[in-house]
Amino acid sequence: MNEDLILLDESMQDLEWFQKNSNELAVEYEGQIVAIKNKRIMANAKNSQMLLEILERNNVDPSTVIIERIPHKGEIIIL
């Protein structure tokens, strides 16, 4: 249980880091999907399948990273 709380706290910190740095990250990773861990980009790819393959090659469990899509400039996302 304690490990789950630690992972949750780390994930929240990574998500906050992503949100605070989204404008800067958009310049480098526009239109890509990124995996975030420990307040840094662990991997990036054009689609989720490629990203999962990269994570697998690097022995990174996808459940331990934040995965976000960085939209293209001017793209409108409707939630």
H helix count then E strand count, the chain: 3, 3
Residue identified by tokens 């990273």 is 65
pLDDT at residue 35 in the model = 98
**Annotated domain spans of the chain:** 2-69
Cα–Cα dist 32/55, whole Å: 15
pTM of this structure: 0.87
pLDDT tens column, 33-49: 999 999 999 999 999 99
Angle, vertex CA 53, rays to CA 69 and CA 25, nearest 5: 30
Nearest to 64 by CA among 2, 8, 5: 8
Residue recorded with tokens 């490990």: 3
pLDDT of the chain, 79 residues: tens digit per residue: 688 888 899 999 999 999 999 999 999 999 999 999 999 999 999 999 999 999 999 999 999 999 999 998 877 778 7
